[in-house]
Amino acid sequence: MTALKSLLFLILVAGLGAGYIPFALLPREPQVETGLLAYLALPLWLLGGVTILWCFWDFTFRGHGTPNPIDPPKALVTTGLYRYVRNPIYLGVLTVIIGHFLWFKTIWLLAYAVGVFLAFHLFVTLYEEPTLKEKFGAAYENYCQSVPRWIPKIK
């Protein structure tokens, strides 16, 4: 049942945020860019998608919960990509959105990426981190001291 709830959250939240909404922001007849920067969209889409799926897997099967704040993992997930950065799902979504911007070069996608990052940052700092500190205590505080919030640390 947890896997089904994670899948539903993946489709509804990550799918809307990284897929549907960016395409809804495109002009009626979007122009696809060409050139080196445009082709960087392809690896960004792949990297972002793999990141999101990997983290959903870890939340579901290692943390025994979902990425949904109303059904969070029962165990603190500090393995996989969480060894390098505390918020890899959010970074995966942003990576996909930046790929859309590079592919279509519409300013609305860049503005959307900035807005999404600000929303993620506020959510993380005002809700998620205080909630995790309360739930996991010293283990989470130690994790925060050794793993950065946004810029991955390669060990």
Q: What is the pLDDT of residues 38-84, one digit of tens each?
A: 999 999 999 999 999 999 999 999 998 888 888 888 999 999 999 99
Rounded Cα distance, 25 and 29, in Å: 11
Rounded Cα distance, 52 and 66, in Å: 12
pLDDT surpasses 90 at 130: yes
* Whole-prediction pTM: 0.92
Q: What is the pLDDT of residues 7-38, one digit of tens each?
A: 888 888 888 999 999 999 998 888 887 888 89
- Which pLDDT belongs to residue 152? 94
Helices 107-123 and 88-104, packing angle to 10 deg = 170
Domain spans of the chain?
Answer: 2-146
